[in-house]
Amino acid sequence: MRVIFLHGPAAAGKHTIGSLLSKRTGLPLFHNHLAVDLAKALFDFGTPGFARLRASVWRAAFSEAARANRSFVFTFHPEATVDPGLISELVELVSVVGGRVDFVELICPRETVLERLGNPSRLAFGKLTDPGLYVRFEAAGGFQFPPLPDPLLRIDTSQVDVDGAAQLIEEAMAASDP
């Protein structure tokens, strides 16, 4: 059982790359916004109830997938409303059944992030689209998060297109297979 844990800033291409990777590998995509949207149906973003519900959805998804030996691709945007300890909990849920979590870090220059925020594809998921709000959230420490585990791969999505990124991830997956 394997989780490809795509993480990076807003507009780095997590969903786009994850969707293509899912199509190419046959692994389902568990897009972060599935849990975010569920939690936002009941609570305002960032409130304690929101954070607890989102975390419980992630825990349940990782736990059930691990129990069923179901590999998948997961997207994650590190930000301050997530309990940093949750990441190690998710990894443990997979590890305890002999699975593994491969972190893939998507990086992107801040200027590129700000340019991409207005892309129409972001509206479909109710994602952050306002560069001004992004800058304010950033200035308030909203994107502070401890470093995640060392990645299997780091990709600068301002330098590598979607197809190239998916190809690099597939190659890294194959090279790291036991």
pTM score of the predicted model: 0.93
Q: Tell me how far the alpha carbon of residue 138 is from its chain's centroid.
A: 18
State residue 131's pLDDT score.
Answer: 78
The CATH code of the domain that includes 140 is 3.40.50.300
Strands 2-7 and 72-76: parallel
Mean pLDDT of the residues in the chain = 93
Q: What is the pLDDT of residues 83-111, one digit of tens each?
A: 999 999 999 999 999 999 999 999 999 99
Domain that holds residue 84: 2-176
Q: What is the pLDDT of residues 113-162, one digit of tens each?
A: 888 887 777 777 677 777 788 888 899 999 999 999 999 999 999 999 99
Domains of the chain: total: 1
- Residue 6 near residue 78 (C-beta atoms within 8 A): no
Take residue 64 and report the two structure tokens written for it. Answer: 């059930």
